[in-house]
């Protein structure tokens, strides 16, 4: 008997580990490690078992899947459903093609069919006299689970073959998958329901297909692509695909014939560039010898055919260590947790930072500093920490705590009730929010500084001429004339607009401060309620909540804003710069004051009375007839003579969508 060595111990360890991962992946539909980690361990085990062949035993390297679940009736496959060997490099593809030519004793260029490798669940469909008899999963390759009732709910699976002369018996194989959109919707609903989310579309598809209640499967919106006829008299794989399409099956549009190793490499490049724009997930390409006679000559090894291979794309998920968490402040004051990672190559680039989204996601995924995590990167999407590998969690991990203060300006950071995001409350003073706060302050419905567009704001901030909105009133001709595309006339106009903006209205000034969730309508409500700015700034949450249409969240936002010393300093500087305002009166300063509307036709989204009420609340006059003094005619469906008269008089006409947009603009 061979003595134990470190290799033998490692073989035993890997076999047990891969058995566990197989069970989680195939049976529970709940993987705990990314595919790339499984592939690494599997390759290591293959190499060790080649050196020590007596220790194969019931190794995962000899299996094709996992045992079927006992909850389902079992079905034995007439032809085993094999797995595929993997290729990861151009050299692997070159070796694959070279071995085929050697076995065929031919130097002739081999024709292949290139098929996207969908990340779904392999399924066998059996038809008798053209009618679907039963459907089964791969299972362990020899025996699968009877999922016939669930497959009946998938619209892409024909219940009857579209042919006048169906074969007495035929088997169709393909992939059940879930589209990216359906997967995102499913997980979003799971988060809202407080239930467990799926790791990826493959496991979502597998979990949906193996429901004991077919009604649940139906709701998940699964799809099916056919790719194989295991028993056929047709000459080529391409002919099989054409046969499948003629019978009514969906076949992946991206499938193409390719010639030799160069054709395989070119197709890999082509589909790799297209990968992220596909509506479904793929993790590689399957290359199959096109000639079915050659497939028979090449034959099989224990778990895979010699005539096909899966050429994997660079992993979109990888394992690495979470070293630390920092919080970054966005333009609108939202603090986003960013994971600092042990650098890892994933999705074609080296990743050292990844988003953690928000504190709710951190809690849901139970992420801690020191964890081994799965980081995901797909295309140009920002890398994210997808999940934690709890089996690898050390004892000294540290919980991630929300910051009490903004890391940029040190203002208080608040997580408002019912919001996942944490916000910096130093709106007027936080450098991270500077461009956003200036653009808002200068907007038409706020202080209204004509000519101060985004590009000029960018230049002023980048030239360090503005540190907060109060600095606008300290700008000089000498500073502005140096800016790009700012001539003498433009500078004079801008300085005049800044000076003119000092004469404002109280509600416009409140709105210009940029208090979270205080729009123009709420600002006007506050201006009517409080006789002075000092009274508003000293109002308690309870006093604010006592005002009609101001709820607890808005009240707390207002209260916290005026508690920040940085914000108060900026307000004091604005007043010292000469900003004054007149009192806002009940009928003064409504955004649609002086405008006359006429409503005609049928509105879909609200009644005529509701539309009239909303327009009147914004100061508009709603008249019953059209005249030359009418500002707008809102025309729904079946509009009649009023619409005709408006067209004759040249009155501006709005459809219902334009009315909704107008109302939304002034009621934010």
Strands of 364-512 (E only): list them: 368-369, 372-376, 384-388, 398-399, 413-414, 422-424, 503-505
| Strand-strand pairing, 596-600 and 621-623 | parallel
CA 196 to chain centre: 18
Interatomic CA distance for residues 336 and 423, integer angstroms:
9
Q: Is 540 exposed, middle or buried (0-12, 13-18, 19+ CB in 10 A)?
A: exposed
Query: Of the listed 117, 288, 365, 505, which one is catalytic?
Result: 117
Active site residue 312: no
Of 303, 273, 266, give the one whose Cα is nearest residue 287. 266
Cross-sheet strand order for the sheet of 596-600: 621-623, 596-600, 632-635, 652-654
CA-atom Rg of the chain in angstroms: 33
Q: Tell me the CA distances in angstroms from 657 to 115, 219, 652, 662, one per residue in order.
A: 44, 32, 14, 9
CA atoms within 13 A on the CB side of 5: 9
Rounded Cα–Cα distance for residues 51 and 43 (Å) = 13
Helix or strand or coil: residue 376? strand
Q: What's the start-to-end Cα distance of the chain, in Å?
A: 80
Query: DSSP per residue over 588-613, as a string?
Result: SS-TTTT-EEEEESB-SSS-HHHHHH
Helix axis angle, 656-666 to 608-617, nearest 10°:
30
Q: Which residues pair with 633 in a beta bridge?
A: 598, 653
Asked if residues 593 and 619 have their Cβ atoms less than 8 Å apart, the reply is yes
CA 432 from chain centre, in angstroms, equals: 25
Residues 6+ apart with CB under 8 A from 438: 452, 457, 460, 461, 466, 469, 472
3-state secondary structure of 176: strand
What sections of 448-564 are H helices per DSSP? 454-462, 477-480, 488-500, 506-512, 520-529, 533-537, 541-545, 552-561
Residue pair 210/72 in contact by the 8 Å Cβ criterion: yes
Task: State the burial class of residue 470 (Cβ atoms within 10 Å of its Cβ: 0-12, 13-18, 19+).
Answer: buried
Q: Which residues are catalytic?
A: 117
């Amino acid at each position: 008997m061979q003595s134990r060595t470190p290799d033998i111990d490692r073989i035993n360890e890997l076999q047990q580990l891969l058995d566990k991962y197989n069970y989680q992946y195939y049976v529970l539909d709940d993987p705990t490690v990314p595919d790339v980690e499984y592939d690494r361990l599997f390759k290591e085990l293959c190499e060790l078992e080649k050196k020590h062949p007596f220790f194969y035993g019931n190794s995962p390297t000899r299996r094709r899947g996992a045992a079927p679940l006992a909850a389902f009736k079992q079905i034995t496959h007439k032809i085993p459903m094999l797995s595929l060997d993997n290729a990861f490099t151009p050299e692997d593809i070159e070796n694959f093609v070279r071995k085929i030519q050697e076995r065929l004793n031919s130097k002739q260029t081999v024709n292949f069919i290139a098929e996207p490798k969908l990340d779904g669940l392999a399924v066998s469909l059996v038809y008798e006299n053209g009618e679907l008899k039963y459907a089964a999963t791969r299972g362990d390759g020899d025996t699968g689970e009877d999922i016939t009732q669930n497959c009946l709910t998938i619209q892409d699976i024909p219940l009857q073959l579209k042919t006048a002369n169906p074969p007495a018996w035929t088997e169709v194989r393909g992939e059940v998958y879930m589209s990216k959109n359906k997967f995102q919707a499913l997980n979003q609903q799971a988060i809202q329901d407080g239930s467990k989310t799926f790791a990826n579309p493959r496991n979502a598809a597998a979990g949906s297909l193996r429901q004991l209640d077919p009604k649940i499967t139906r709701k998940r919106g699964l799809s099916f692509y056919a790719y194989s006829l295991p028993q056929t008299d047709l000459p080529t794989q391409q002919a099989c695909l054409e046969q499948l399409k003629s019978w009514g099956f969906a076949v992946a549009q991206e499938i193409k014939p390719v010639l030799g190793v160069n054709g395989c490499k070119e197709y890999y490049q082509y589909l790799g560039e297209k990968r992220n724009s596909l509506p479904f997930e793929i993790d590689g390409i399957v290359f199959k010898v096109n000639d079915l006679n050659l497939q028979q000559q090449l034959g099989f090894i224990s778990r895979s055919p010699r005539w096909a291979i899966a050429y994997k794309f660079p992993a979109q998920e990888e394992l690495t260590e979470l070293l630390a968490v920092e919080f970054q402040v966005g333009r609108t004051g939202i603090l986003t947790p960013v994971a600092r990672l042990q650098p890892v190559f994933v999705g074609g680039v080296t990743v050292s930072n990844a988003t953690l989204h928000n504190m709710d996601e951190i809690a849901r995924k139970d992420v801690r500093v020191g964890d081994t995590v799965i980081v995901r990167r797909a295309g140009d999407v920002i890398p994210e920490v997808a999940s934690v590998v709890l089996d690898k969690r050390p004892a000294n991990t540290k919980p991630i705590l929300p910051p009490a203060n903004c890391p940029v300006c040190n203002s208080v950071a608040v997580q408002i009730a019912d919001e996942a995001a944490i916000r910096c409350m130093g709106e007027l003073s936080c450098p991270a929010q500077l461009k956003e706060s200036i653009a808002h302050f200068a907007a038409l419905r706020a202080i209204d500084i004509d000519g101060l567009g985004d590009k000029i704001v960018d230049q002023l901030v980048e030239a360090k001429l503005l540190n907060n909105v109060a600095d606008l009133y300290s700008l000089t001709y000498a500073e502005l004339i140096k800016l790009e595309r700012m001539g003498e006339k433009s500078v004079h106009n801008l300085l005049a607009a800044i000076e003119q903006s000092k004469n404002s209205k109280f509600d416009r000034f409140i709105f210009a401060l940029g208090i979270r969730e205080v729009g123009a309508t709420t600002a006007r409500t506050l201006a009517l309620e409080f006789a002075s700015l000092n009274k508003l700034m000293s109002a308690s949450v309870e006093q604010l909540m006592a005002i009609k249409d101001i709820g607890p969240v808005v009240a707390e936002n207002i209260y916290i804003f005026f508690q920040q010393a940085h914000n108060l300093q900026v307000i004091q500087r604005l007043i010292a710069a000469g900003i004054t305002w007149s009192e806002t009166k009940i009928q003064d300063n409504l955004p649609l004051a002086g405008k006359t509307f006429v409503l005609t036709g049928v509105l879909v989204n609200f009644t005529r009375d509701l539309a009239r009420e909303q327009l009147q609340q914004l100061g508009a006059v709603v008249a019953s007839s059209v005249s030359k003094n009418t500002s707008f005619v809102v025309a729904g469906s079946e509009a009649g003579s009023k619409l005709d008269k408006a067209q004759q008089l040249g009155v501006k006409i709005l459809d219902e969508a334009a009315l909704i947009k107008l109302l939304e603009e002034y009621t934010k």
